[in-house]
Amino acid sequence: MSCSACATRIEKSLQSAHGVYEAAVNFGNSVAAVSFDPEKTDRGKLVKIIEKAGYSTIDDDPETIARAEAEEALRMRRDLILAVLFTVPLFIIAMADMFAGIPWLSDERALLAVLELILCIPVIYAGRRFYIRGFPALLAGIPSMDSLVALGTAASFLYALWNTAIVLFGGSAGGLTYESAAMIITLVSVGKYLEARSKIKTDSAVRALMRLQPETATVIRDGVEKEVPISEVVEGDRLSIKPGDRIPADGIIVSGTSSVNESMLTGESMPTPKSEGDNIFAGTVNGTGGFIMEAVKTGKDTVLYQIISMIETAQGTKAPVARIADRVAGIFVPLVIVIAVAACVVWLISGRTLEFALTVLISVLVISCPCALGLATPLAITVGTGMAADRGILFKNASALERAADIDTVILDKTGTITVGSPEVTGTAYRSDRDRLIALAAAAESGSEHPIASAVVSYAKKEGIDIPGHIDFASVTGGGVRSTVDGEVVTVGNSKLMEDIGCDVSEYDGDAVSFAAQAMTYFYVAKGNEPLGVIAVSDPVRPESGFAVSRMKINGAQVIMVTGDNKATADAVAKEVGIDNVISGATPGDKLEVVKDLQTEGRYVAVAGDGINDAPALAQSDLGLAVRNGTDIAMDSADVVMMTDDIRCIPASIELGKATIKNVKQNLFLALIYNMIAIPIAAGVLYLFDIGNVSMMPMISAAAMSASSLLVVANALRLRRYAPESLSSA
């Protein structure tokens, strides 16, 4: 399918079939969902209906679909190269004739006409898909961009062919318009090719999620550990989970303790302590401890597969965006044809010659050739997406840029979007020597791969503090770490661990309360059983987040923070950046429901996130934005990928969308005003007052058509001077 009108055409064909209850065709992921009575029809008959409508089908296999889309993109690339190779010399020759830059061509009209015809035919062939799809859509009453291109280029080509025939037989004819047909086909083909390329990775988010589940699991049967394929794990199996393992199923810990990285579910970078009786989920990653779990849900019953299902559903039910030019074409194209035919008939009835009437008909089609209308949207979109790319904002398709202009609600994830996404040391409290406190803590934590340990070690290095060596490293699951540093046992951990080693940390109670109020995670450092101080870490807010939020509000968008983090942390971060509406403790399903509820209220919702947990909401939203450091799955599910960490790109995306669509509307206005003035003239209004020469009208029409296209091009290029205010200052 080349546009949303294709989906509409297939839907109508399927819905009219005997035995079909309902048919929904999604242009975004090329899927047709059909409900039918198997006693009245079957899959084979439905496939034939689709093929009769001019399309082909492929089996519902992600790899097969990916290959088919890649092959289609390759075919479009070959056609584009062919069009460019012949359009460039054709344009040069046509301009040489117009400006008499090559006198012998201007003098040899017959040779010029034949030469332009020979160069134009390969371009028409390269754009054959526009005719194959455009004219059937027009006849079906659902004209699309393909219809505009097909009608306009056909009118230009046939008019030029008419004049070529006249010249070859020694007559005097108007101008040639082969280059107009060729230029439109080439320019529109560029956009079609880029759109085809963007669809190749449509299903990559789902495939990446599927890869999160391990291929094998260690099952305990008859007291013996045995490695089996994941497909053989059943409900009730006891599984042995070792440090670093990816959890193979949803279940409950039967014995043992550890910490589990659940960022794929919560989006939070901090591992979650787990002990006997706690729930764990497939696809999450075990930390340094080992434990035995009982499988409760396996395969497609796991939370991981529920997330996959949510993404597929969101992508499948997202309504295709109707392009502005397609909507205009639905009225404009049939109207032009009616006017052209009516003008021809009226002049015949009035007693004019057939030649006169046909010349008027061709003049109307040429002067109203929707070249300017066809260029209005793709040129502005091309400029807009190019400007965005220069600023590190990648729109996956033109529809995303269009939707950005309508956004009135922005949902932001906290971790990795508003905040940096990794813990940093943000506070200390100590008795006497801060550097010694940091040095001993960093030395003790050097043997750990925990994010908090990395934060402490990185902080020590950043501050230029020497980190002494350590021996006898031991991890206390759910408590902290212990090491021997310079002959002394150094313990780093929570209050329970301090209590276990007989260390009284009550003198730091006030500091602990203060750190907690600021949504920081804190831990104590002790040498032997002597408390040395407290170190606090937190995921710091990005410096530009506050400004970005203020710009979103200025652009008329309500800003909501939806996060899986706890209420205290979420409220503290929201207050710092100026967000009033906060939803904390949200699961992936909760985030998805928030988006759906807002859309039900008639809002256009943008979602910005960086984690797997954000993927369902990103897919459901009207505009999904993924930050650079996010997961591949989040980026694949999003409509926009920000290639920098600067979240000012979020309001900048909205501003670019508004500016681009404003330019599109200006272009459409210019194109339509031109046609409102030009069509009556071409239809012969001036001839009623004996003004003008009918034999010159097609040539004048061609010149006017070119002028209208140049006007639209100039206005679209003017968009290059636009600079989003969100990125101009901070």
Active site residues: 413
Of the CA atoms within 13 Å of residue 578, those in its CB half-sphere come to: 13
Q: Could you tell me the CA-to-CA distances from 43 to 51, 87, 410 in Å, in that order?
A: 12, 43, 41
- The secondary structure of 562-597, three-state, reads ECCCCHHHHHHHHHHHCCCEEECCCCHHHHHHHHHH
Per this entry, what is the length of the chain?
730
Cβ neighbours of residue 74 under 8 Å, at least 6 residues apart? none
- Beta strands of 133-290 (E only): which ranges? 216-221, 224-229, 238-241, 250-256, 258-261, 272-274, 279-280, 285-286
- d(C-alpha 582, C-alpha 351), whole Å: 75
Tokens 């980190």 belong to 467
Six-digit token pair at 352? 């004019």
Six-digit token pair at 128? 């054959």
Contact 389, 382 (CB under 8 A): no
Q: Is the sign of the CA dihedral 619, 620, 623, 626 positive or negative? A: negative
Q: CA end-to-end span of the chain, whole Å?
A: 43
For residue 254, what is the DSSP state? E
Q: Which residues pair with 393 in a beta bridge?
A: 642
Amino acid at 499: E
DSSP per-residue letters across 288-333: S--EEEEEEE-GGGSHHHHHHHHHHHHHHHPPPPPPHHHHHHHHHH
Six-digit token pair at 280? 């764990």
Collapse the DSSP code of 526 into the 3-class scheme (helix H, G, I; strand E, B; otherwise coil) and give the result. strand
Angle at 141 between CA 48 and CA 660, to 5 degrees: 105
- d(C-alpha 85, C-alpha 151), whole Å: 23
